[in-house]
Amino acid sequence: MCAMTNIEALIADGGEITVGALWPHPCVATAADQHNALAMLVRRDGETLPALLKRLDLAIGKACGDGGVTDEVNSANT
Q: What mean pLDDT is predicted for residues 40-64? A: 97
Confidence (pLDDT) at 61: 95
In the three-class reduction of DSSP (H, G, I as helix; E, B as strand; rest coil), residue 7 is classed as helix
Q: Which residues contact 75 (CB under 8 A, 6 or more apart)?
A: none
Share of residues in the chain with pLDDT > 70 (%): 94
Query: In whole angstroms, what is the distance from residue 60 CA to residue 45 CA?
Result: 22
Q: What mean pLDDT is predicted for residues 54-70? A: 93
pLDDT band at 48 (very low <50, low <70, confident <90, very high): very high
Cβ-contact 43, 58 below 8 angstroms: no
